[in-house]
């Protein structure tokens, strides 16, 4: 309730400011710029304070349930496949409970179902991200909507962010990935060798008003939305269910929640 | 003073050509790395820093170790070190040159390295590391060069150098502290997440740096007419002896905390290094060798009889130097990455190619070191004559 009231107030304040600023802006921005194409978020852009994902792991029973999601992500994001394990790049993958929650949550005498279940892991878009703190060039940065983004053109490939991420969510291009792509999605950039990459919560899809590809492929088994918006599905799921997050004891505040 | 570096005996030229050969090979392999990417190394998704960063870390220590002669001389007026301070400062310069080169060869996109300065990010420790390392290089260049030139001209060094000299002392501590902070501030890396990492880095630095300096002094005595002095070497040996004791002590503190608390995240890395984990244990013989070498170093250097005998002193210094190199150069970095954050074991084994690049960087460092030492010795010989 409180949050909602604050946001309404914020919005009112903003629109008041906008009303006063608008004429001035119009006067200043007159002509030369008019008619030029503008770069920036489009009208359909989805907005949030902190995007979050809630994965209902109860509804993922086997590899076959997770494969299509992983495939969807890696295909549209031009994530290459290497035979050589050393060069592996992955944005989202499935692992066992004991690996996903290593160190923070009991993995002994687990319920049978939980023990065998595949757990999807990806970048948690942490609210307090150590990778952002570590990056010496701001090539990794946190956006206003909570997404931890990568600038592939600024990254110097020092891999400090990889050491800083306590979830192993980041991959490095140990070689030029392009020859290893089976097909290329022309709408998404391919990477060059020597830069780091990771899941970006499909920021490019959110900009077009679409939900992340893995969420779409999950067909209702993953909720996505603004964690702080009581009306969002993600918020409602975490309110209604007992959820876990990975390594909460480290204080990074992961924004990916798991219903177990 | 540069003329001293150009004139030399056949042996000197032979040595320089040999070093240039190493640099050349390293450079050719580096061109291949530029072409293919860091994939020619053994690094992977889990162990994303390897041999380069490990040697970088070790050499920051060697550079900081130089302060062990600078501090007593300038701060406590320990006159005897007057003869060797320049050797300490020049060793620091060569070591920092290697550090910076190691960082450069480790970057995935080295052409973009200036981004660190174009987009300064004070919350990143790497940003500070860039500043303190380059600052230390500059300080030592200015101080070393000017003090040596003054000595050559038979005058006291300029007054404005004094504050810089004083500044260089805490600065030396800072380079290794900041380097330790690269690691010990990362959540979820239990092996590094310990407040004693910086002190431990410093203690091993104050052991390995002066140990190398002793060996260099002994070589200089053989190949030139300049004698750094047996008394100086002995004082340095005492420094090495106690620093290596402190280093082993700090390590044992670490072991106690990890194994008495029984917290898996802290124990597992040490287990991996010393006994192996889940059937993986490539580093086990190396780590035990490091321990044995350090203990041997303690025995030979703390005991006055063996410390004062040249033969055993050399063995002791070699033991300390290589013990620290394995401990910090091999174990410290790989050990921190294995097991990975998901508690899986993926080992890192350096490849031949990254080994060749590493040797090339060492070749470059020793080339710089030889040039600087040749100049210093030339001046010393001239002044004495
Ligand atoms: S999961 Fe790792 S990469 Fe993603 S935001 Fe958190 S720390 Fe950064
Ligand atoms: S590898 Fe790139 S993104 Fe990661 S810390 Fe270095 S510059 Fe930043
Ligand atoms: S949110 Fe988008 S980028 Fe992230 S794992 Fe899902 S599909 Fe991939």
Measured distance CA(B52)–CA(A171) in Å, rounded? 19
The Cα of B132 is separated from the nearest Cα of chain A by a number of Å equal to 14
Residue ranges of domains in chain A, CATH in brackets: 3-259 (3.30.70.20)
Is some CB atom of chain B closer than 8 A to the CB atom of A156? yes
> What is the pLDDT, as a whole number, of residue A103?
74
Question: pLDDT of B174-195, one tens digit each?
Answer: 999 999 999 999 998 999 999 9
Which residues of chain A lie closer than 8 angstroms to B119, CB-CB? 137-138, 154
> What is the pLDDT, as a whole number, of residue A33?
44
Question: Do residue A163 and residue B38 have CB atoms under 8 angstroms apart?
Answer: no
Q: Taking a C-beta distance cutoff of 8 angstroms, is the pair A147, A125 a contact?
A: yes
Atom 8 (ligand 3) nearest CA: A73
Measured distance CA(A19)–CA(B113) in Å, rounded? 44
- Ligand nearest to the Cα of A126, by number: 1
Helix, strand, coil percent content, chain A, rounded in steps of 5 = 35, 15, 50
Confidence of residue A34 (pLDDT cuts 50, 70, 90): very low
Q: Is A214 in the pocket of ligand 3 (CB under 6 A)?
A: yes
Mean pLDDT, rounded, for B48-66: 95
Is some CB atom of chain B closer than 8 A to the CB atom of A119? no
Question: Count of alpha carbons within 13 Å of A198, Cβ hemisphere only?
Answer: 28
3-state secondary structure of B156: coil
Q: Is A201 in the pocket of ligand 3 (CB under 6 A)?
A: yes
Confidence of residue B230 (pLDDT cuts 50, 70, 90): very high
Per-residue pLDDT at B261 exceeds 80: yes
- Ligand nearest to the Cα of A215, by number: 3
Confidence of residue A11 (pLDDT cuts 50, 70, 90): low
Q: Which of A69-78, A156-165, B324-333 has the lowest mean pLDDT?
A: B324-333
- Ligand nearest to the Cα of A90, by number: 3
Which residues of chain A lie closer than 8 angstroms to B37, CB-CB? 173-176, 193-194
Measured distance CA(A102)–CA(B337) in Å, rounded? 15
Which residues of chain A lie closer than 8 angstroms to B44, CB-CB? 85-88, 174
Per-residue pLDDT at A32 exceeds 50: no
Ligand 2: which of A134, A136, A139, A170 to mutate, judged by most atoms within 8 Å of the beta carbon? A139
A9 vs B64, residue with greater confidence: B64
- Which protein residues are within 6 Å of ligand 2, measured from CB? A 134-135, 137, 139-140, 155-161, 196
> What is the pLDDT, as a whole number, of residue A104?
72
Residue (of B117, B169, B160) closest to B142 by Cα position: B160
Q: Is A213 in the pocket of ligand 3 (CB under 6 A)?
A: yes
Measured distance CA(A2)–CA(A18) in Å, rounded? 24
- Ligand nearest to the Cα of A122, by number: 3
* pTM for this predicted structure: 0.91
Which residues of chain A lie closer than 8 angstroms to B104, CB-CB? none
Place of tokens 């501590």: B173
Q: Which of A121, A154, A158 sits opposite B107 (nearest CB)?
A: A158
Q: Taking a C-beta distance cutoff of 8 angstroms, is the pair B60, B133 a contact?
A: yes
Nearest CA in chain A to B123: A133
Q: Is A200 in the pocket of ligand 3 (CB under 6 A)?
A: yes
Measured distance CA(A82)–CA(A181) in Å, rounded? 9
Confidence of residue B22 (pLDDT cuts 50, 70, 90): very high
- The CA-based dihedral angle spanning residues B266, B268, B274, B278, taken in that order and rounded to the nearest 10 degrees: 180
**B193 burial via Cβ count (<10 Å: 0-12, 13-18, 19+):** middle
> What is the pLDDT, as a whole number, of residue A29?
46
Which residues of chain B lie closer than 8 angstroms to A138, CB-CB? 119, 121
Kind and range of the H or E run holding B291? helix B284-302
Question: Do residue A87 and residue B110 have CB atoms under 8 angstroms apart?
Answer: no
**Superfamily for domain range B2-378:** Formate dehydrogenase/DMSO reductase domain (1.20.1630.10)
Q: How far is the CA of A134 from the centre of ligand 2 (A)?
A: 8
Ligand 1: which atom is nearest the Cα of residue A130?
7
Which residues of chain A lie closer than 8 angstroms to B183, CB-CB? 163
Mean pLDDT, rounded, for B301-310: 96
Question: Do residue A159 and residue B48 have CB atoms under 8 angstroms apart?
Answer: yes
Is some CB atom of chain B closer than 8 A to the CB atom of A81? no
Confidence of residue A1 (pLDDT cuts 50, 70, 90): very low
Q: Which of A82-86, A116-120, B5-9 has the lowest mean pLDDT?
A: B5-9
Residue A58 CA from chain centroid, whole number: 22
> What is the pLDDT, as a whole number, of residue A113?
86
> What is the pLDDT, as a whole number, of residue B383?
87
Q: Is A224 in the pocket of ligand 3 (CB under 6 A)?
A: no
Cis peptide upstream of residue B339 (ω within 30 degrees of 0): yes
Question: pLDDT of B97-137, one tens digit each?
Answer: 999 999 999 999 999 999 999 999 999 999 999 999 999 99
Which string of b and e fits B309-345 if b means at least 16 CB within 10 Å? eeebbebbbbbbbbbbbbbbbbbbbbbbbbbbbbbeb
> What is the pLDDT, as a whole number, of residue A24?
46
> What is the pLDDT, as a whole number, of residue A10?
57
Question: pLDDT of A119-169, one tens digit each?
Answer: 999 999 999 999 999 999 999 999 999 999 999 999 999 999 999 999 999
Is some CB atom of chain A closer than 8 A to the CB atom of B38? yes
Q: How far is the CA of A163 from the centre of ligand 2 (A)?
A: 10
Is some CB atom of chain A closer than 8 A to the CB atom of B262? no
Q: How far is the CA of A171 from the centre of ligand 1 (A)?
A: 11
């Amino acid at each position: 309730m409180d949050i909602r009231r604050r946001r309404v107030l914020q919005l009112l304040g903003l629109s008041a400011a906008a009303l006063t600023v608008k004429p001035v802006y119009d006067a200043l921005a007159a002509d030369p710029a008019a008619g030029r194409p503008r770069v920036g978020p489009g009208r359909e852009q989805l907005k949030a304070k902190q995007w979050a994902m809630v994965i209902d792991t109860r509804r993922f029973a086997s590899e076959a349930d997770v494969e299509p999601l992983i495939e969807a992500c890696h295909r549209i994001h031009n994530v290459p496949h290497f035979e050589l394990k050393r060069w592996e790049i992955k944005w989202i993958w499935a692992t066992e409970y004991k690996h996903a929650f290593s160190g923070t949550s009991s993995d002994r005498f687990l319920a049978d179902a939980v023990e065998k279940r595949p757990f999807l892991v990806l970048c948690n878009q942490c609210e307090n991200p150590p990778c952002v703190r570590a990056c010496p060039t701001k090539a990794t940065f946190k956006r206003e909507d909570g997404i931890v983004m990568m600038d592939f053109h600024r990254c110097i490939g020092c891999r400090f962010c990889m050491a800083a991420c306590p979830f192993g969510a980041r991959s490095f291009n140990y070689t030029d990935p392009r020859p290893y792509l089976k097909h290329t999605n022309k709408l998404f950039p391919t990477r060059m060798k020597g830069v780091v990459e990771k899941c970006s919560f499909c920021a490019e899809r959110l900009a077009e008003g679409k939900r992340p590809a893995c969420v779409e492929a999950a067909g209702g088994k993953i909720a996505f939305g603004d964690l702080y918006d009581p009306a969002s599905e993600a918020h409602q799921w975490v309110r209604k269910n007992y959820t876990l997050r990975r390594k909460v004891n480290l204080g990074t505040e992961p924004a990916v929640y798991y219903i177990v | 003073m540069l003329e001293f570096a150009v004139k030399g005996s056949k042996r000197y030229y032979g040595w320089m050509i040999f070093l240039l050969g190493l640099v050349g090979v390293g450079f050719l392999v580096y061109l291949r790395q530029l072409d293919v990417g860091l994939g020619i190394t053994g690094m992977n998704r889990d162990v994303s820093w390897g041999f380069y960063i490990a040697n970088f870390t070790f050499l920051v220590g060697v550079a900081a170790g130089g302060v062990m002669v600078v501090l007593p001389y300038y701060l406590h007026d320990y006159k005897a070190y007057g003869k060797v301070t320049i050797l300490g400062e020049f060793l620091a310069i060569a070591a920092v040159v290697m550090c910076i080169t190691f960082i450069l060869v480790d970057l995935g996109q080295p052409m973009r390295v200036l981004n660190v300065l174009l987009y300064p990010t004070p919350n990143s420790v790497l940003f500070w590391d860039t500043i303190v390392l380059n600052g230390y290089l500059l300080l030592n260049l200015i101080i070393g060069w000017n003090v040596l030139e003054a000595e050559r001209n038979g005058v006291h060094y300029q007054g404005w150098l004094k504050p810089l000299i004083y500044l260089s002392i805490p600065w030396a501590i800072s380079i290794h502290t900041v380097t330790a902070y690269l690691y010990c501030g990362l959540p979820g890396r239990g092996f590094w997440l310990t407040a004693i990492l910086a002190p431990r880095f410093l203690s091993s630095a104050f052991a390995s740096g002066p140990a190398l300096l002793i060996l260099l002094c002994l070589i200089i005595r053989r190949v030139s007419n300049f004698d750094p002095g047996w008394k100086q070497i002995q004082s340095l040996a005492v420094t090495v002896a106690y620093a290596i004791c402190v280093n082993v002590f700090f390590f044992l503190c670490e072991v106690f905390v990890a194994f008495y608390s029984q917290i898996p995240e802290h124990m597992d890395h040490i287990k991996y290094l010393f006994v192996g984990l889940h059937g993986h244990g490539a580093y086990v013989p190396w780590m035990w060798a490091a321990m044995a070498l350090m203990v041997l170093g303690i025995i030979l250097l703390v005991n006055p009889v063996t410390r004062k005998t040249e033969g055993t002193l050399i063995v002791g210094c070699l033991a300390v130097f290589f013990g620290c190199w394995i401990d910090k150069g091999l174990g410290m970095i790989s050990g921190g990455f294995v097991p990975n954050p998901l508690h899986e074991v993926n080992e890192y084994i350096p490849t031949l190619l990254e080994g060749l690049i590493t040797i090339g960087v060492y070749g470059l460092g020793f080339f710089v070191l030889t040039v600087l030492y040749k100049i210093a010795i030339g001046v010393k010989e001239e002044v004495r004559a």
